[in-house]
Structure 1
Amino acid sequence: MDCRKKYLKEEKDLKRLLSLLLSLVLLASFASLSFAAVTVGGNLRVWYQATSDETDTTNKSSDTFRFDRLALTFASELSAVDGFKGEVQLRQPRNDANSGTSTSAKFGTDIRVDNAYYYQKGMFFEDDEMDIGYIQQLPFKGAYNAIVLESLANAVIKDSNSTGIKYSNKITPQFDFALAVLSAKNQYNKDDTTYDGYDYGIRFNYAPISQLKIGMGYVKDIGSGKDTYKTIYAVDATYNAGPFGAYAEYLSGTSTSTGTDTDLDAATYLELSYKVMDPLTLYVGGTSGLDSTKATSFGNAFGYKFTDADSDFQAKNNWMVIGAKYQLAPNTALQAEYVSVDNDNADQTAAAVRLMVSF
């Protein structure tokens, strides 16, 4: 018995020693990283939304408050030229194929890593950057105001965050470009299907004058197999002159299924805005080229979603939007919007108010 007590005492002392050593190692590690500058930010988005959708036989209308997301962004500068960035989002769970099983969607918590990557600046040129990790596909979200239905390119190319590499270079103050190569198994392709190959894209931005910025891009997004994918060509332009603003977007592309190409009809989005006074901006916009009766329409090929509110409201025909954005405080904005979808025999509208707080 005495031997057992002695053994247990020695084992307890050994555990204490190991815990002490581990604590010292952690303290030393934190001390060695004390030079790294860490910044934390993010945003909170809460919605009120009311929809009427006679095209949806299961849920023709809704009227509810909706928690959209709490996003936490962080960046750690390991040195003047490299570091780590990331974003974690807490979202309201959804009961659909892209949110896991119905049980987890109804009762679980949708916590997702939006991006997490290591970056290095000045690898080849003074103003270039290389990102490696879980990153976002090339940004196609232009300087538009609409929130209920996103821009054409951003709606079609969304949910393609994945593991890969991205390179960007600001060649001059007026011209920059970026290119990315990502795994086809991405944020949207979550099921057990084998997604072989890579998604890749390239984007150029050019500002010939201070008021005008033009963007051009190309993206190839793999589906379930190397012979099933979509290729998207996007051109957008932003123009600002005093209180007036304009955003235009043109989209074309091809849908390929098991090696057979289908050319998609070109689609456009145009938005005009006016800053009535410093905190208040009014805007109106609309699309062309979307037609649910045509298989070659972008709306049929990929569809839209009430993406920021994360609901199931979809528009496959042309739509018009009118809205207002009021800046309550430097980091707090209240935005109201009304959307009407052009359906011949069915009413399809959405009204929403969104509060967004950035920190």
Structure 2
Amino acid sequence: MILHELLGYDVLRVIWWLLLGVLLVCFAVTDGFDLGAAALLRVTGKTDVERRVVINTIGPIWEGNQVWLILGGGAIFAAWPQLYAISFSGFYMAMFAALVCLILRPVAFKFRSKREGTAWRNGWDWVLCLCGWGPALVFGVAMGNVLMGVPFRLADDMRIYYDGSFFALFSPFAVLCGLVSLSMLLMHGAAWLVFKTEGDVQARATRWGMGAAILTTVLYAVAGVWLAKLSGYTLTEAMSTTGPSNPLLKSAQLGQGAWMANYAKQPLLWIVPALGVCMPLLAALGMKLRREWLGLLSSGLAIAGIVLSVGVSMFPFILPSSVNPQFSLMVWDASSSHLTLFIMLVCALIFLPLILAYTSWVYSIMRGKVDPDEIEQGKGHAY
């Protein structure tokens, strides 16, 4: 109880905002390379054995990577219930499409090699490719819509109304964000294949990875310039950071270039988007020079910079409303109670180290290159 009293409501709100960012980055970095590798399956593997090599680089670990998606969704549900309600209902069809891809992916892993037929295996290979492309695009498009504002409103009794439609999600800026997401995951998947394979598969992954890395830098820079010209959200008067979770109690408005205000106040924050611009180029260099660790680490840092730059730009907003800025959800007015956030923090401090230890152990066990000869000879439990 002493710790509970020391950690004020405002402190816990910021801690959980930071933890949510960490969970999203962990998901994007870990599950990102297996989505990217699957999306590149048809172009990096030309023969059945080569495609099995690609699949076996991610087959043993993809399930563990999705733990971060579950943790992120659970954190949003428990720490920011209004954010969960609006985003998962407003983006329902888009999220459903991503969920279908995430469901079909394990089916493809398990069923692909059950039969020897070429048509059978080619069909499941296409399923794996599409299930890599789909979530990458959907998550990026969703992030673009968050930056532009989501068409929701709140009634006086806090009931939520969503006024948008499925096709309205695909505005030019949102599609650009989707392409940024896709290119960065293709880069990361290629860096993983360079790290885990040899020979022709590695050479093809290098070419595709370098192209995706350069494209990521270009698209991200264009999106940043575009974002600077968009209308962002800003408070018109100071608000309590320890007040009740009621978005209707604040006063906010649109402002030209408001999403850049945090960088003007704290220039050190430019380090975050700088990672998104520079690290893809370093990843491309690492892949070209066969510095495998450098390529993979740089692509992971690039993803972290790109994802975190969204949160840095928006803080303290977490879900702006395009209907009325006052309805926007913020770190200070959309969280769960003080006690709930404290209990969740205690649980996180117990279980996150266990998850990290288990994950590290699994990656240690699965270290090393995937050998095509062992796969062809049917040794072990290859996919």
More helix by share: 2
* Structure with the greater alpha carbon radius of gyration: 1
Provide TM-score, normalisation by structure 2: 0.24
Q: Whose RCO is larger (CA < 8 A, sep 6+)?
A: 2
Provide TM-score, normalisation by structure 1: 0.25
